[in-house]
Amino acid sequence: SSTKPIVISTWDFGVAANQAAWKILQPGGSALDAVEAGVQVAEADLSNPTVGKGGYPDRDGHVSLDACIMDAEGNCGSVAALEHIAHPISVARKVMEETPHVMLVGEGALQFALEQGFEREDLLIESSKEAWQEWLKEKKYKPIMNIENKAFQTERLPGNQYNHDTIGMLALDAQGNLSGACTTSGMAFKMRGRVGDSPIIGAGLYVDNEVGAATSTGVGEEVIRTVGSFLVVELMRQGYTPEAACKEAVERIVKKKPEIAKEIQVGFLALNKKGEYGSYALQAGFSFAICHNEQQDLIEKGKHIF
Ligand code: SD4
């Protein structure tokens, strides 16, 4: 399909997020405003333990958030290991617009957010605290990959709460400009200070207004190793369709780490300048949501390798 405006985002929970983005895109608003407003919906959803407030904490009990945003001019902003702020995507946008930098982390990111007027909040909600305490009983200081496996196994069951993680959103507005946003609480019960792919420009998100945009979800370590989203965009530049580019990027992960690739989930989502989109994942269970003039609440299952 070739259309604009259009917005796409990772997982089923992308439907609600897309609708918020659509309210901006449909009357002619910018892709940048649309992706920020869109992913804020997932950040605010307390029933979702993988993004924003309500996200699962790290293994020491701190909710630590990663997010980035990128616009059509190649401007970008990012925060990593940010605590106590419910909308990291909006802090990332402030980093982009109000500082000469791209990325702020930890304490410094929090200090900047507070200076910008963001409210300091406790992000650890009761249900996530309980899940963490449950995890502490057995899993304390086991390798992180085990956690991901458990999440992935459960992810295969329909309707399960694990059937989503990061939200990555890509939009093409009526003016033909692309933007993207990506936000997550990261791997559940991660090591304190662990940063995934989601706030890393080129890994969790990349936008090139000449070509297209890409974002990723799943185990960030493998996406960082392959600079996944940048790779997808560069492949589209070479003429790959969005789906073929995403497929090549997941195959790169398989080639580099065949044993790990069988055990984990990574999914890529891409949108090109024409409004064509596609995805590919390592495993079954990945889905993405699409919203354009013809339909506002479409969901597609991602094709997969294993
Ligand atoms: C990350 N891609 O931090 C994100 C989301 C995730 O397991 O939790 N993956 O790696």
CA 185–ligand 1 middle distance (angstroms): 8
ipTM entry: 0.94
Judged by DSSP in three states, 45 sits in: coil
CA 223–ligand 1 middle distance (angstroms): 9
Residue 148 pLDDT greater than 80, yes or no: no
Ligand 1 touching residue 58 (CB < 6 A): no
Residue 22 pLDDT greater than 60, yes or no: yes
pTM: 0.93
Q: Which of 216, 156, 137, 146 lies closest to 180 in space, CA to CA?
A: 216
Ligand 1 touching residue 217 (CB < 6 A): yes
Contact 263, 281 (CB under 8 A): no
- Could you tell me what percent of the chain has a pLDDT over 70? 91
Give residue 47's pLDDT: 86
Ligand 1 touching residue 185 (CB < 6 A): no
Give residue 2's pLDDT: 56
Residue 63 pLDDT greater than 90, yes or no: yes
CA distance 53 to 225: 28
Ligand 1 touching residue 144 (CB < 6 A): no
Greater confidence (33 vs 259) lies with 33
| Ligand 1 atom with least separation from CA of 187 | 8
Q: Whose CA is nearest to atom 10 of ligand 1?
A: 220
Ligand 1 touching residue 71 (CB < 6 A): no
Which residues belong to the active site? 166
CA distance 218 to 52: 16
Residue 54 pLDDT greater than 70, yes or no: yes
CA distance 127 to 113: 26
Q: Whose CA is nearest to atom 8 of ligand 1?
A: 187
**Could you write out the three-class secondary structure of 60-86?**
CCCCCEEEEEECCCCCEEEEEEECCCC
Q: Whose CA is nearest to atom 3 of ligand 1?
A: 186
Ligand 1 touching residue 218 (CB < 6 A): yes
Select from 219, 250, 253 the residue to mutate for testing ligand 1; criterion: most ligand atoms less than 8 Å from CB: 219
